[in-house]
Chain A
């Protein structure tokens, strides 16, 4: 279906940003307008979700320029689901940020940057154009730079330096890859690129590989894949809790989403890429969780868990290596299910970590303890999300892990299944470490700060909602699983995606005609280099 309705979530974020800037003088109005705005954003993403549920794929040609000429927005089941979760997380973390314990809520720049972050994320989920994806990435990055440096403390600035530099390098690689992609294909529309790249692949398979690996490195840095994750544990634990929570919920997941979108819908299926992704995913799983076991601060442990979980998410892409269509669908479906579960569990854990900090003003394991007596309710909330992350029934993590392991066994990737199980035991170990040190251990020196009654609502309600979601998904996983499976089928049906976007004009390779005339183009040079290398 073609409709301009897809612009509504993006426009509502942009409007929220503008409104919260207008109210920069008065924090109360800013808070009220943010709450209303986030509600509108959630409703608009729900509307897109319902449109997609009805029509499978919804396309918007901006400025009525038909693909591949203008920028087109495309929503299929995966992007609609991600958009809906973005809206939900935006609202929950927005509510949490109203409780201003460590200076976030009072900083004038917080709410505009928060909306800008949501704008970038929802744009990246909806776009059907590669260069536009780059632009949304930059919107998201700039907003996250500002959020990261809001408090201007020494730790934040140091963390930000590493975060900013490595993400800029990733953007540069992305941009260079786009340049090469355009010179080879003369197009930037994803559906159009798929057709053209399939033609190019037949002639110059190595050229495709070079571009694919540039994209893999660039998205790998954003997602936090194994050799590229060092910015994440250096920076994620430094900013205020609300910021870390929204980062952990959305930023790395955008990287994972782009890996799926680009390597399924843009690049033709390629076993070399899938093999590399599979190996990297396994290494990420294990090394991330080992990092978590070695840390002694709540938010540092959780930061390393993000990396480990990214491994599980990307695993689905690597398992496409199996040529069986059923297994491919199940693998991608498991990843989508895992992604949603992980967003809920991770955000909830970071919010619990923030609540612990708000009550005791520290997150160091050594100086915490006795919280089960002092705050039993928080202990229950922590247990729900920690058990869910580790994969213990009846919470959502159990089904997420079960699906992943089941698919790897089905595809006869025995080592992968073993590593996934080993990583989840280590996850449980590090979760128990937090439990023992923070809640169980007896420590008489811990002092509890009293939290005002009206703030208690803002502090606890998002965590409670997330805990309920984790239990509901855990008790009734079939709704989410069926949806993920349908989304995976849609994602893998590459031809239908092309037909829905319907780029006009027949794709042909112009550069091969030119190079036969003896003229030097960048692709012919690259081809020579690759021939030489191989």
Chain B
């Protein structure tokens, strides 16, 4: 299971980097989306996800050994919410951009660099 997840995370990062390097700005958006997913999954794998018992106990009990660590899940939740907001902004930005510049080829967007 660990190896499977590790390979999936690796594939996501590879795909993201590949898409980020394409010239089309639509593919750039998809690259950024994949990058967000890859990071979330990386945090998930970094917690020991084989332990699955809920870490909620009565105050008299002690924590069972196979209880999950809630912190990475909280981190992922935060990261997902943030990346969702950012990606929504990026999608709109790219649409406005396309309307103004009339091209989705990033190589042609050079007017600010010379």
Contacts and interface: CB of A to CB of B under 8 A. Distances in A.
A182 B70 CA distance: 12
A237 B114 CA distance: 12
A111 B41 CA distance: 36
A5 B71 CA distance: 27
Interface residues of A, number: 43
Given A138-B86, A169-B20, A172-B38, A154 B111 contact: yes
A469 to B, nearest CB: 31
B93 A160 contact: yes
Interface string B70-101: 01100100110010011001100110110011
Contacts of B75: 131, 178-179, 182
B101 A158 contact: yes
B112 interface: yes
A6 to B, nearest CB: 21
Interface in B40-54: 42-43, 45-48
Contact of A176 (B42, B78, B86, B93): B42
Contact of B90 (A164, A172, A520): A164
Nearest to A295: B114
A15 B108 CA distance: 42
B26 interface: no
A11 interface: no
B35 A169 contact: yes
Interface string A20-43: 000000000000000000000000
Given A157-B93, A169-B20, A520-B2, A135 B78 contact: yes
A442 interface: no
A169 B29 CA distance: 11
B25 A161 contact: yes
Nearest to B97: A157
A161 B94 contact: yes
Contacts of B106: 161
Contact of A172 (B6, B35, B113): B35
Contacts of B71: 182, 188
Contact of A155 (B69, B78, B111): B111
A157 B42 CA distance: 32
Contacts of B20: 165, 169
A279 interface: no
Interface stretch (A73-81, A141-149, A373-381): A141-149
Contacts of A233: 113
A235 interface: yes
Contacts, number: 108
B112 A142 contact: no
B57 to A, nearest CB: 16
A131 B74 CA distance: 11
B93 A183 contact: no
B106 to A, nearest CB: 8
A158 B108 CA distance: 10
B43 A179 contact: yes
Report which residue of B28, B39, B111 has the largest number of chain A beta carbons within 10 angstroms of its beta carbon.
B39
Interface of A: 131, 135, 138, 141-142, 145-146, 149, 152-155, 157-162, 164-165, 168-169, 171-172, 175-176, 178-180, 182-183, 186, 188, 233-235, 237-238, 514, 520-522, 525
Q: Which 6 A-B pairs have the closest CB atoms?
A: A183-B46, A179-B43, A175-B39, A172-B35, A179-B46, A179-B42
Interface of B: 2-3, 6, 16, 20, 25, 28, 32, 35-36, 38-39, 42-43, 45-48, 69, 71-72, 75, 78-79, 82, 85-86, 89-90, 93-94, 96-97, 100-101, 106, 109, 111-113
Given A158-B109, A237-B112, A520-B2, 5 more contacts: A154-B101, A157-B97, A158-B97, A172-B35, A172-B39
26 contacts: A135-B78, A135-B82, A138-B86, A145-B89, A154-B100, A154-B101, A157-B93, A157-B96, A157-B97, A160-B93, A161-B106, A161-B109, A162-B109, A168-B32, A168-B35, A169-B32, A175-B39, A178-B43, A179-B43, A179-B46, A182-B47, A182-B71, A233-B113, A235-B112, A514-B48, A522-B45
